[in-house]
Amino acid sequence: MTAPLVFSRVGHAFLGRTLFEDFDLAVEAGETVALIGPSGSGKTTILQIAAGILEPAKGRVLGAWRRQAVVFQEPRLVPWMTLLDNIAYGLAARGEPRARRREVAARLALEMGLEEADLPKYPTELSGGMRQRAGVARALAVDPDMLFLDEPFSATDVGLRRHLQNLLIAAARTRGFSGLLVTHDLTEAVRIADRLLVLSALDGRIAACHTLPGRPGERSERMVFEQVEAWSRDPVFGELFSARERRR
Ligand SMILES: Nc1ncnc2c1ncn2[C@@H]1O[C@H](COP(=O)(O)OP(=O)(O)OP(=O)(O)O)[C@@H](O)[C@H]1O
């Protein structure tokens, strides 16, 4: 079976400055790959190229999925739409009948820990955490087989971040979608991903690639902690992350 997302010798530059060249990546069906690396190494650019938001300057990107969805750091809800209509937004674009849209959106909202009473509220009436939950629900509502996650939980506090990570891991297991995750948070990558690519600060090259043991959701907190601790001592990670990022 061919991988749903393949980058072959992809290169990109902004304003004449080469960000990366000859970048290769294959994300397999049902696999979540985390891109981690220092600020400016090109993680978001790679994700945007994969999601078709940005055209690469060089190389080929093959995408073989039915439906994609993106979860951004800032959930980007439409301010004049209710929570329910925001979550149903992608379904409306797909032409699903209104009753069906509302039914799916309400189910997803509850699955993400939102409450029935919140559904008619507008984004300004919601907390940041509720908006973030809505962003994840909106992405899952379209039943994607490819999910792009650009620092999806970095603006949420530690408790909620953990909770949303667990919801996402559970959703990936039951729905079987592939994922590309951009994060600064090594713990998040070790919890959510099957494979981890570490980008180099210097030229966006892959400095390291690690397949994580077991499946997301099956790794104990201790195992995650020990893996992150071990990598914190690894020179590849040591060079790439500040002490603050390693502590998160
Ligand atoms: N539209 C743009 N025009 C010009 N330069 C850009 C543009 N988008 C990104 N860049 C530059 O490209 C580099 C890589 O950006 P990118 O957002 O991909 O990095 P990143 O690894 O995701 O960083 P961060 O972790 O800080 O989000 C940065 O130096 C950034 O300033």
Ligand 1 binding pocket includes 36 (Cβ within 6 Å): no
Q: Which of 39, 197, 248 to mutate to test the pocket of ligand 1 (most atoms within 8 A of CB)?
A: 39
Residue 1's pLDDT is what? Answer: 66
Walking along the chain (248 residues) 10 residues at a time, the average pLDDT comes out as 90 90 94 91 94 95 94 93 95 88 94 94 94 94 95 86 91 93 93 93 78 92 91 74 48
Residue 239's pLDDT is what? Answer: 58
- What is the pTM (predicted TM-score) of this model? 0.92
Q: 């962003």: which residue's tokens?
A: 135
Q: How far apart are CA 109 and CA 103, in angstroms?
A: 10
Tell me the CA–centroid distance for residue 245 and ligand 1, in Å.
18
Tell me the CA–centroid distance for residue 223 and ligand 1, in Å.
32
Q: At what angle do helices 128-141 and 158-175 cross, to 10 degrees?
A: 10
Q: Give the closest residue (by CA) to ligand 1 atom 31.
A: 40
Q: What angle (nearest 5°) sits at the alpha carbon of residue 150, between those of residues 43 and 103? A: 155
CB 86, CB 162: distance < 8 Å: no
DSSP state of 35: E
Q: What angle (nearest 5°) sits at the alpha carbon of residue 76, between those of residues 71 and 78? A: 130
The 3-state DSSP class for residue 40 equals coil
Work out the burial of residue 39: count CB atoms within 10 Å of its CB; fewer than 13 is exposed, 13-18 middle, 19 or more buried.
Answer: exposed
Ligand 1 binding pocket includes 43 (Cβ within 6 Å): yes
Ligand 1 binding pocket includes 73 (Cβ within 6 Å): no
Positions of E strands within 99-191? 146-150, 178-183
What is the tens place of the pLDDT at every residue in 24-81?
A: 999 999 999 999 988 888 999 999 999 999 999 999 999 999 999 999 988 999 999 9
Residue 154's pLDDT is what? Answer: 83
Q: How far apart are CA 29 and CA 175, in angstroms?
A: 11
Residue 12's pLDDT is what? Answer: 94
Q: How far apart are CA 141 and CA 106, in angstroms?
A: 10
Q: How far apart are CA 179 and CA 145, in angstroms?
A: 8
Percent helix / strand / coil, the chain, rounded to 5: 40, 25, 35
Residue 244's pLDDT is what? Answer: 46
Ligand 1 binding pocket includes 44 (Cβ within 6 Å): yes
Residue 193's pLDDT is what? Answer: 96
CA distances to 44, 68, 124, 165, 217 from 172, rounded to whole Å, are 21, 13, 29, 10, 10
